[in-house]
């Protein structure tokens, strides 16, 4: 279970199934495939994010989060959108960035999308 540090986060669904199905336009398999491409991209970016934090590249990291938030929104990944929205705000990264929280949410999102196929 992921522990969230801000109010209301645990009340959001990992995946909003209604939004996912709407975006699929009848091709849920195709959208699931795109979602897993997105997840792979996120996993590829994680080491870069750690490096950006260590080097103080917060502006670039905020840009990355904004781009990733768009993808997460497309798939209805509400908690991921909330995390990225919070971290893209000025000052938030310096105070509360926790890559482990994102990795846990990414795993939860992968499982939620995988479960749709079952």
pLDDT tens readout for residues 39-55: 999 999 999 998 998 89
Exposed, middle or buried by CB within 10 Å (0-12, 13-18, 19+), for 76?
A: buried
| Structural contact between residues 2 and 93, judged by C-beta atoms closer than 8 angstroms | no
What does the pLDDT read at residue 117?
A: 81
All residue ranges of the chain with pLDDT < 70 are 1-8
What does the pLDDT read at residue 93?
A: 81
DSSP tag of 9: G
Contacts 24+ apart (CB under 8 A), 4-11: 4/79, 4/101, 5/96, 5/98, 5/101, 6/86, 9/79, 9/82, 9/83
Site of tokens 């939860």: 108
Does 1.20.120 match the CATH number of domain 13-117?
yes
What does the pLDDT read at residue 96?
A: 78
Q: Where are the domains of the chain?
A: 13-117
Q: Torsions phi, psi of 84, nearest 5?
A: -65, -35
Phi-psi region of 56 (alpha: psi -120 to 50; beta: other; left: phi over 0): left
What does the pLDDT read at residue 5?
A: 52
What does the pLDDT read at residue 3?
A: 43
């Amino acid at each position: 279970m992921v522990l969230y540090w801000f109010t209301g986060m645990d009340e959001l669904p990992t995946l909003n199934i209604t939004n996912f199905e709407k975006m699929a336009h009848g091709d849920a398999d195709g959208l699931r495939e795109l979602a897993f491409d997105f997840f792979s991209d996120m996993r590829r970016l994680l080491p870069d994010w750690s490096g950006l934090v260590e080097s103080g590249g917060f502006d670039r990291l905020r840009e990355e989060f904004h781009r990733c938030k768009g993808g997460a929104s497309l798939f209805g990944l509400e908690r991921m959108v909330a995390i990225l929205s919070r971290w893209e705000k000025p000052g938030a990264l310096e105070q509360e960035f926790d890559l482990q929280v994102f990795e846990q949410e990414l795993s939860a999102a992968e499982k939620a999308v995988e479960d749709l196929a079952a």
